[in-house]
């Protein structure tokens, strides 16, 4: 077992144990706020192009993914009241700790994408599938305001395909070429700093 996998498995298990009361509280909040399931599972493409279900707390109304895969702005009409706050502070991503524990994801790696957009990758870009997808990466930090960038775009779908996807992949390939446990720790710390800066002062 590699040092990265030991780190992922041990830290995800510890965090899941520590955060169980938080998981319970958020689950009750979602249940009271809107009709539907507590968790949302979506098929994403992982290492070696293997599909898997990425887990999140549900932040949209049931069936919202049938109206589009992109979230356009923090006030997208499909987002629930609880979902707005869960997304704002990235709390909706916490269930991916289970994905990490099960070995489908890592703490750091390219964010997993849906097959619709993966189909657009050229051969060079498909090198992102040589590693496990991650909970965070350099693109997650630089594009923390992605939904707002999409909201300000004249054509969000085209902007995502032609601008954001290439940017994400470029940063992912940079990570793959320079990956190490030290790099992972720095990315995790930078991610936490970004989230803390977004908290009310």
Domain ranges of the chain: 3-198
Instruction: Name the 3-class secondary structure at 52.
Output: strand
Q: How confident is the model at residue 72 (pLDDT cuts 50, 70, 90)?
A: low
In the prediction, which pLDDT does 190 show? 97
Closest of 86, 79, 75, 91 to residue 135, by C-alpha: 91
Q: Would you say 96 and 46 are in contact if contact means Cβ atoms under 8 Å apart?
A: no
pTM: 0.92
Task: Please write the tens of the pLDDT for every residue from 18-71.
Answer: 999 999 999 999 999 999 999 999 999 999 999 999 999 999 887 666 655 566
> Residue ranges of the alpha helices (H) in the chain?
3-33, 81-88, 96-101, 115-118, 138-142, 146-151, 156-159, 165-178, 181-198
pLDDT at residue 76 is higher than 80: no
In the prediction, which pLDDT does 48 show? 97
């Amino acid at each position: 077992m590699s040092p990265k996998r030991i780190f992922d498995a041990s830290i995800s298990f510890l965090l899941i144990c520590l955060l169980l009361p938080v998981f319970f509280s958020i689950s009750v909040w979602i249940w009271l706020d809107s009709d539907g399931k507590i968790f949302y599972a979506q098929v994403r493409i992982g290492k070696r192009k293997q599909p898997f279900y990425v887990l999140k707390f549900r932040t949209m109304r049931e069936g919202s993914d049938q109206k589009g895969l992109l979230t356009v702005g923090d006030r997208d009409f499909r987002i629930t009241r609880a979902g707005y706050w869960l997304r704002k502070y990235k709390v909706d991503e916490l269930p991916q700790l289970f994905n990490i524990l099960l070995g489908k994801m890592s703490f750091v790696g390219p964010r997993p994408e849906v097959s619709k957009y993966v189909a657009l990758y050229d051969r060079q870009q498909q090198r992102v599938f040589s590693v496990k997808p991650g909970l965070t990466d350099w693109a997650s930090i630089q594009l923390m305001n992605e939904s707002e960038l999409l909201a300000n775009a004249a054509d969000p779908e085209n902007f995502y395909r032609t601008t954001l996807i290439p940017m994400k992949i470029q940063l992912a390939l940079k990570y793959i070429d320079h990956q190490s446990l030290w790099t992972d720790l720095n990315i995790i710390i930078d991610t936490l700093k970004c989230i803390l800066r977004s908290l009310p002062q």
